[in-house]
Structure 1
Amino acid sequence: MSEQPGVAVARLPVAYADTGAAQLGFSLDAALQEPLAREDGKINGITVSVRLLGASHQVVVDDGARRICETVACLPDVTSALPENFQESGYVFSSRIEKVTEHQLVALVEQLGVRVTEQMASGNPSVMGVFPGDPHAVTAIVSDSSAEEISWHTWHTYPQAGEVVITTSVINRGAARA
C-alpha cells in the first residue's frame, strides 16, 4: 500500500531505514517526506495527517494559520536526538524506550492492530505499517481528540533489538489555532 486511505494495517513495500531506537531523531521543521502510508482527517476543522515513512513517522497538524510537522525519524535533516520531553507553544512531546521480550512484542503488535482499527472507525486518523521481513517490525500512529486537545501516540518496534520506542504528543487546541 502506498497511500490507500481506510486500511488499518499497511504492508509496507520497503525495509525500514532505522534499525534501533538510538537512530531516531526529532524535528518540528523537517521537510515533508513522501509517505509509505498515511491517513488524513479533520478534527473540528483542524487537519491531522499521520504518515509512515521508511525512516519512521511524520504527523502534520494544520489549522490553516499554523502548521506543526512532527518528524521522528532516521533522516539526514533530522539531527536532534530524540528527547524524553519537549514543550513549545502549547505542543508537548514525550518519548521513552522500553525493552520487551518476544512474547510481549507479539502481544503489543496484536493490540496495536486492534487500537488502530478502532480509532479509524471512530474518525481519528490512525495507521499501522508492517515492514518486510518481520511481522513484528511495525510503526503505528493513533490519534485522538478531546474538547481541549489533539493528541497522538506512536510505537516504533525493533524486534531484532527487543526495543519499542513510544511517543506521546499533545497540542492544546487553542495553541493550534493561535
Structure 2
Amino acid sequence: MIGQNRLQVRYADTSARGLAFSLTAGLQEPLARCDRRIGDRGVSVRLLGASHQVVVDDGTDRLCETVACLPGMDAPLPDTVVEDGYTFASRIEPCDTDRMQSIVTELGHRVDRHLAAGDPAVMGHFPGLPLAITAVIATAHADALAWQTWHTYPQCSELVVTSSELRRTPEPGR
C-alpha cells in the first residue's frame, strides 16, 4: 500500500449529488496528498474527506480544481467544463457492492503503479466503510497534464468519476 492512506477521519460526504465543483475555492487542508514536479509544473493531488483538490502551479499561473461538499460551494457537479485549455468531465454511476469492490482493488494497484512510475497519485480509505475511498491519479502527456478521480459512496451504491486535462498554452511565435 505505497500510495494508499488509512484515513483517521469519519466518512463525511452523504452522497454523490452533494458534491460541488469550483476553480476558485481556496486551498483546503488535505487529509492526504502527493506533491510532484512534472516538467516546470508543481502538481499536488489532495484528498479532502471524500472529496479532492488538484493544484497545478507553474510559478506564474495556478489552477485549483476542487470537487467537494464545502460551505459556500453550492453549484452542483457539472457534466463538463471547458475553458482556456482546461477540460473537466464528471459522471455519477450506479455501482453495486461487487463492482465497487473490484474498482477499489484495481485502484489500489493503479495508484501504487503510478507512484512507482513517478506520477502524482493518492488514495484514501475511510474507517468503518472498507469500500469508501477517494483516489486521484495524474499523468503527463506531450502537451498536457491529465488526472482522474474516483469517489465511492457505498451507502448509496454510487461511484463518481471525474476526468480533467490542462493543456499547455503555446508560446507566442511557436
TM (normalized to structure 2)?
0.95
User: 1:73-106: per-residue Cα shift (whole Å, max 9, x none)?
Assistant: 0001322110000011100000001111110000
> Where does residue 3 of structure 1 map in the other structure?
none
> Is 1:128 aligned to 2:123, yes or no?
yes
> Where does residue 70 of structure 2 map in the other structure?
75
**Structure 2 counterpart of 1:39, one-letter code:** C
What's the Cα RMSD here? Answer: 1.5
In the alignment, the residues of structure 2 paired with residue 55 and residue 116 of structure 1 have an alpha-carbon distance, to the nearest angstrom, of 17
**Structure 2 counterpart of 1:174, one-letter code:** T
CA displacement at 1:55 relative to structure 2: 4.7
> Where does residue 60 of structure 2 map in the other structure?
65
> Is 1:32 aligned to 2:27, yes or no?
yes
In the alignment, the residues of structure 1 paired with residue 136 and residue 162 of structure 2 have an alpha-carbon distance, to the nearest angstrom, of 9
Q: Provide runs of 4+ in structure 1 moved above 3 Å.
A: none
Distance 1:24 1:139, change over 3 A: same
In the alignment, the residues of structure 1 paired with residue 94 and residue 50 of structure 2 have an alpha-carbon distance, to the nearest angstrom, of 20
Question: Do the aligned partners of 1:55 and 1:75 also contact (CA within 8 Å) in 2?
Answer: no
Question: Do the aligned partners of 1:49 and 1:59 also contact (CA within 8 Å) in 2?
Answer: yes
Question: Do the aligned partners of 1:16 and 1:56 also contact (CA within 8 Å) in 2?
Answer: no
Q: What stretches of structure 2 of length at least 5 have no aligned partner?
A: none
> Where does residue 106 of structure 1 map in the other structure?
101
1:136 is paired with a residue whose SS is strand
Question: Do the aligned partners of 2:45 and 2:53 also contact (CA within 8 Å) in 1?
Answer: yes
CA displacement at 1:38 relative to structure 2: 0.1
1:174 is paired with a residue whose SS is coil
User: 1:22-52: per-residue Cα shift (whole Å, max 9, x none)?
Assistant: 0000000101110000000011110000000
2:169 is paired with a residue whose SS is helix
TM (normalized to structure 1)?
0.93
> Where does residue 17 of structure 2 map in the other structure?
22
> Where does residue 166 of structure 1 map in the other structure?
161
**Structure 1 counterpart of 2:161, one-letter code:** I
**Structure 1 counterpart of 2:38, one-letter code:** I
> Is 1:116 aligned to 2:114, yes or no?
no
Structure 1 segment 81-92 matched on structure 2, within 5 A: 81-92=76-87
Q: What stretches of structure 1 of length at least 5 have no aligned partner?
A: 1-5
User: 1:3-24: per-residue Cα shift (whole Å, max 9, x none)?
Assistant: xxx9410011111221210000
Equivalent pairs, count = 172
Question: Do the aligned partners of 2:50 and 2:133 also contact (CA within 8 Å) in 1?
Answer: no
